[in-house]
C-alpha cells in the first residue's frame, strides 16, 4: 500500500474508527484523529501483534514501565505512545501502522496533526457563516449515517444536545 491509497482508505472511514487489516503479506492499522478506538501493538522478532486492549497482548514476563505507571497514577493516562508495559505501544491518534511480513519493515506515520490556529481579523459574520456550514455538514452526516432509523439524543440541558435536536428538526428529520 502506498500513502495515496492509505489516505483514501482513511478518508472513507470517516470520523470514528480504529481499524486493523491483515493480508497475507502486510498488516495495516489506523486510528482516527481522537483515537476513538485504541489499537495496541507489540513487535517481536518476526511478528507483530495488535489488539484493542493492551492486556490481551501482554506476555507473562513483560516488564512494567515505571515511568508510565507514575504518569498513569498521577493523571489516569500514559504519555505519548507508551503503555504500562515496556514492550507494548499504542497507536497514537491520527496515526497508522504498516507492517510488511516479508522484509519485517514497520512504518509508523501520523497522518493528522493538530496545528496552531492562525488568527485573522475578519468580520464575525464570516466566522458565523463558516460555523453554520460546518454544523450543517455534521448534521447531514448524522442524517446520512442514520439511514432513516430513529436517532436518540439524551438531553442534558447542555448546548450540544440542544444543537443536535434543533438542527435535526430544522433539517426535517422526523425520527428523533
- SS3 track for 13-66: HCCCCEEEEECCCEEEEEECCCCCCCCEEEEECCEEEEECCHHHCCCCCCCECH
Q: Indicate left, alpha or beta for 80 from its phi (over 0: left) and psi (-120 to 50: alpha).
A: left
The C-alpha cell 470514528 sits at 16
pTM of the model: 0.67
And the C-alpha cell for 152?
Answer: 436518540
- Tell me whether residue 96 is exposed, middle or buried, using C-beta atoms within 10 angstroms of its C-beta: 0 to 12, 13 to 18, 19 or more: buried
What are the backbone angles phi and psi of residue 157, rounded to the nearest 5°? 70, 10
The grid coordinates of residue 70 equal 507514575
Q: H or E element: which one contains 110?
A: strand 105-110
Q: Could you list the pLDDT tens digit for every one of the 176 residues in the chain?
A: 677 888 888 888 888 899 999 889 999 999 999 899 999 999 988 889 999 999 999 988 899 999 999 999 999 989 999 999 999 999 999 999 999 988 889 999 999 888 877 777 888 888 899 999 999 999 999 999 999 999 999 887 778 888 999 999 999 999 99
Q: Which residue has the cell 496545528?
A: 115
Q: CA 98: distance to chain centroid?
A: 16
Kindly list the distances between the CA atom of residue 166 and the CA atoms of 2, 133, 135, 170, in Å, as whole numbers in the listed order.
43, 15, 11, 6
The CB density around residue 78, as the number of other CB atoms within 10 Å, is: 20
Distance between CA atoms of residues 8 and 109, nearest Å: 15
Amino acid at each position: 500500500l502506498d500513502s495515496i491509497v492509505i489516505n483514501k482508505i482513511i478518508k472513507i472511514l470517516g470520523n470514528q474508527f480504529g481499524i486493523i487489516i491483515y493480508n497475507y503479506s502486510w498488516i495495516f492499522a489506523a486510528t482516527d484523529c481522537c483515537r476513538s478506538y485504541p489499537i495496541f501493538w507489540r513487535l517481536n522478532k518476526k511478528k507483530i501483534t495488535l489488539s484493542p486492549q493492551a492486556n490481551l497482548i501482554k506476555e507473562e514476563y513483560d516488564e512494567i514501565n515505571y515511568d508510565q505507571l507514575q504518569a498513569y497514577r498521577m493523571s489516569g493516562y500514559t504519555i505519548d505512545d507508551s503503555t504500562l508495559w515496556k514492550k507494548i505501544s499504542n497507536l497514537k491518534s491520527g496515526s497508522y501502522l504498516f507492517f510488511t511480513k516479508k522484509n519485517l519493515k514497520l512504518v509508523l506515520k501520523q497522518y493528522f496533526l493538530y496545528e496552531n490556529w492562525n488568527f485573522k481579523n475578519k468580520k464575525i459574520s464570516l466566522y458565523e457563516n463558516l460555523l453554520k456550514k460546518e454544523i450543517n455538514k455534521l448534521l447531514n452526516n448524522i442524517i446520512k449515517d442514520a439511514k432513516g432509523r430513529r436517532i436518540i439524543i439524551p438531553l442534558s440541558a447542555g448546548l450540544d444536545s440542544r444543537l443536535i435536536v434543533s438542527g435535526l428538526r430544522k433539517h426535517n428529520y422526523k425520527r428523533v
